[in-house]
């Protein structure tokens, strides 16, 4: 099947949590291909599984012919915290205490390798993620990316770098992670200016 059939995909909120292992495999494969984790890591990486099952989290999937080919998750800050607490606890707490804002995070964004260069799929996933952020009334959104993706997301989302930290413990493969922050309204306007035929808000 030609990769161009990607335009038949559907983006949905995940309702069947039995499909979480599919997402785990997609993330695992993406991390391996990006060099973020060791090839010795054979099991799916799921570092904060508790976030999957809370009401503050919405999981989006991109599905094509019954297969999940993309995903992203949005979490509103609450009793269970955010995924950024795993990597940047002090920095996340500082933002909580000093910023008069509704805080959330976007995490676990990935697309399968055969569709990674399809900008429309990526933009549709980002657009739907912003719609979820609006539903949750998230004003400030936090992200954790590998440092090599920092410039891309700064350009795409007008994201601000807050902190960096290197991880060498298994399963990570000597990776420097970057904590980034955006104002969701500003990011939506920024994307709408970059891609003038689309509205992200």
Give the per-residue pLDDT at 3: 46
DSSP secondary structure string for all residues of 113-148 = GGGTT-HHHHHHHHHHHHHHHHHTT--EEEEEEEGG
- Please identify which residue in the block is written with the tokens 């260069």: 117
Whether residue 186 lies inside any domain: the answer is yes
CATH number of the domain that residue 50 is part of: 3.40.630.30
In a domain, 123, yes or no: yes
User: From first to last of its 201 residues, what are the pLDDT tens digits of the chain?
Assistant: 344 455 799 999 999 999 999 999 999 999 999 999 988 888 887 889 999 999 999 999 999 999 999 999 999 999 999 999 999 999 999 999 988 899 999 999 999 999 998 999 999 999 999 999 999 999 999 999 999 999 999 999 999 999 999 998 878 889 999 999 999 999 999 999 999 878 787
For residue 169, being part of any structural domain is answered with yes
143: containing domain = 3-194
Measured over the CA atoms of residue 22, residue 24, residue 27 and residue 30, the dihedral's sign is: negative
Distance CA 183, CA 140 (A): 5
Task: Indicate whether 199 belongs to any domain.
Answer: no
Q: How far apart are CA 114 and CA 112, in angstroms?
A: 6
Would 77 be classed as within a structural domain? yes
In the chain, how many domains are there?
Answer: 1
Choose among 46, 47, 64: nearest CA to 5. Answer: 64
Quote the Cα angle for 69-64-21, to 5°: 45
Q: Give the sheet arrangement for strand 67-76, strand by strand.
A: 10-13, 57-64, 67-76, 103-111, 140-146, 175-183, 160-167
Rounded to whole angstroms, how far apart are CA atoms 131 and 117?
A: 23
In a domain, 173, yes or no: yes
Residue 89 lies in a domain: yes
pLDDT at residue 5, rounded to an integer: 53
Residue 186: count other Cβ atoms within 10 Å of its Cβ. 12
Contacts of 79 (CB under 8 A, 6+ apart): none
The answer to the question of residue 201 being in a domain is no
């Amino acid at each position: 099947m030609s990769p161009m059939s990607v335009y038949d995909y559907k983006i949905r909120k995940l309702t069947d949590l039995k499909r979480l292992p599919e997402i785990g495999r997609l993330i695992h494969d993406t991390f391996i291909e990006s060099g973020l984790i060791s090839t010795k890591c054979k099991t799916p990486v799921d570092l904060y599984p508790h976030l999957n099952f809370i009401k503050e989290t919405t999981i989006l999937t991109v599905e094509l012919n019954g297969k999940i080919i993309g995903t992203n998750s949005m979490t509103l800050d609450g009793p269970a915290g955010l995924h950024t607490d795993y990597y940047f606890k002090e920095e996340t707490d500082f933002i909580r205490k000093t910023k008069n804002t509704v805080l959330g995070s976007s995490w676990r964004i990935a697309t399968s390798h055969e569709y990674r260069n399809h900008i429309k799929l990526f933009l549709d996933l980002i657009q739907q993620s912003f719609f979820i952020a609006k539903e949750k009334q998230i004003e400030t959104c936090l992200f954790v990316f590998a440092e090599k993706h920092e410039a891309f997301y700064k350009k795409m989302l007008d994201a601000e770098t807050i902190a960096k930290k290197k991880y060498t413990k298994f399963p990570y493969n000597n990776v420097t992670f970057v904590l980034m922050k955006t104002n969701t309204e500003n990011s939506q306007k920024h994307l709408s200016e970059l891609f003038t035929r689309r509205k992200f808000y």
